[in-house]
Amino acid sequence: MTVKIKAKSAILEAVHETAGDLHRLGFIDQRKMRKIDALCLDPIPEYDSARIRALRERHKLSQAVLASVLNTSLSTVRQWELGGKHPSGASQKLLNLLDRKGLEALI
């Protein structure tokens, strides 16, 4: 399965594609590939409380359902929307996936 990446530019996309091919052939190890990913790919945007609430409302989800979809607790989602906590790691990536691809991508 090939994953289409979103690079910062066409040149970086070509570099990333070439590096991916070299990785699949065994010329580049996983550690080096992660460094290339970090250099070439767009970073995941930050999700603040307003953006999380807007995303949840756009998909017509309750806080409890969003928590279930993201495999986190209801209190964590509440804290995100109140600004007491900020999503990081896997939660941030899942929010980005929900934002870009919709709920169907997470279910």
The pLDDT-based confidence of 13 (bands split at 50, 70, 90) is confident
Rounded Cα distance, 83 and 103, in Å: 23
Percent of the chain with pLDDT over 70: 93
The pLDDT-based confidence of 3 (bands split at 50, 70, 90) is very low
pLDDT tens-place string over residues 38-65: 888 777 889 999 999 999 999 999 999 9
Q: What φ, ψ does residue 46 adopt, rounded to 5°?
A: -75, 145
44-50, long-range: CB < 8 A, 24+ apart? 44/92, 44/93, 44/96, 45/96, 46/86, 46/92, 47/80, 47/86, 47/87, 47/92, 47/95, 47/96, 48/83, 48/86, 49/80, 49/81, 49/82, 49/83
Give the start-end residues of each E strand in 2-107. none
Please, what are the domains in the chain? 10-40 (no CATH), 49-105 (1.10.260.40)
Give SS3 for 7. strand
The pLDDT-based confidence of 2 (bands split at 50, 70, 90) is very low
Q: What is the pTM of this model?
A: 0.67
Between 84 and 6, the more confident residue is 84
